[in-house]
Chains A and B, each alone.
Chain A
Amino acid sequence: MHRFANPARFLRLARWLTLPCLVAGIVITAAALAWGLFSAPADYLQGDSVRILYLHVPAAWLGMWGWGAIATASFVELVWRHPLAAIGARAAAVPGAFYTALCLATGSLWGRPAWGAWWVWDGRLTSMLVLLFLYFAYMALADAAGRDGDGTSRIPAIFGLVGAVNIPIIHFSVIWWNSLHQPPSISMGKSAMADDFLYPLLVSVVGFTLIFAGVVLARMRAILAESQAEARLRRKAMSEDIA
């Protein structure tokens, strides 16, 4: 772990990994979606509307894992003060929020034909919407801390940890409470989903995850480059003052 905490070493690795992650992610996601849309069977009950599953479920998982990444990085930042952890947490916010929004949008499109409602205020939908708002708040907070502070603010990290309380609530919302959303189909190596649906779904999750990783790496490099440029400008301004 400590070996990769060195920004120079990290940058070398990230530069090498970003493009393969993005390209492989896009190719695998496209293949999985094509599989799901054209080749996978229709559901006995829902018919063809089940095909939105291959977008909705990976988006939901990545939306939640995105906050998991923020919380883990925030923990590392608070305890070990690794500057890369802070940058990683900030970099995960935008793709995490994007996936959460995608999950809510596709879920709404799916809800209309399946349930007969675009939106209901049940536990699952409400806690997922709360996650999207948490992402917005985190982005605003991290942005403000980066712009107005000296870059050492721990407030976004504390918020990242506090917000993690919502993740188990999202997961268990359909188990603890009566909800319109059905309970999980896939849990701990068990699946109530036929293999014909499961395989394209898992491939889609792999593709989404690679895209997520690629975007996080690219954003971490951008944030690092930005802070280096700023430091260089500051040094230049200082040397000019002295001269």
Chain B
Amino acid sequence: MNTGGIKAKHQRLVLVLVALAALLGAGLLAVWGLRSQASYFYLPAEMAANPPETGRAVRLGGMVEAGSIKTAADGVTIRFMVGDGKARVPVIFRGIVPDLFKESSGVVAEGRIGPDGTFVADNLLAKHDERYVPREMKDMTEQQARAAVVETQ
């Protein structure tokens, strides 16, 4: 290839790099524009700061607070608190809960805010975190298990 060819090659390299930079910028802008819409659920703090209108279908996600699950007399209605460390929202749900629905574990509730500020859930989804711990470690306290996992990092 002569020197003209090498120049064309460099020209293409610069053009493609510029196009890539523009593309990446456009992608980041689009993602920035989507940052609130693309979230799958409201956190309790977001719900407290900017409550959705009563009756509008929304999702609420957070931690099921320890000791907050109360089963009603009918046996299928439960009440619990969902918190994120900053705010807490009371939730009522009637139905079968997923296996992984536990206290001090993540949950996403689909439903709506009732007139009294209680979140009325139609459906519960369990959200687990990124930690994987063998069952044999289950009998350790949660702190010990966490330390054991951190040691392997």
Residues in A lying within 8 Å of B, measured CB to CB: 41-47, 50, 53, 75, 78-80, 113-117, 120-123, 161-162, 165, 168-169, 173, 176-180, 182-185, 190-198
Contacts and interface: CB of A to CB of B under 8 A. Distances in A.
A169 B23 CA distance: 13
A168 to B, nearest CB: 8
Given A44-B138, A165-B23, A194-B133, A116 B40 contact: no
B136 interface: yes
A46 B124 CA distance: 17
A44 B9 contact: no
B152 A194 contact: yes
Interface in B1-52: 9, 12-13, 16, 19-20, 23-24, 26-27, 31, 35, 38-43
Interface of B: 9, 12-13, 16, 19-20, 23-24, 26-27, 31, 35, 38-43, 61, 97-102, 105, 108, 123-138, 145, 148-149, 152-153
B9 A79 contact: yes
Contacts of A196: 134
B120 to A, nearest CB: 18
A50 B99 CA distance: 14
B136 A198 contact: no
15 contacts: A44-B134, A44-B137, A45-B133, A47-B135, A75-B16, A78-B12, A79-B13, A80-B9, A116-B99, A123-B40, A169-B31, A176-B38, A185-B131, A185-B132, A191-B152
Contacts, number: 130
A157 B12 CA distance: 13
B83 to A, nearest CB: 15
B35 A191 contact: no
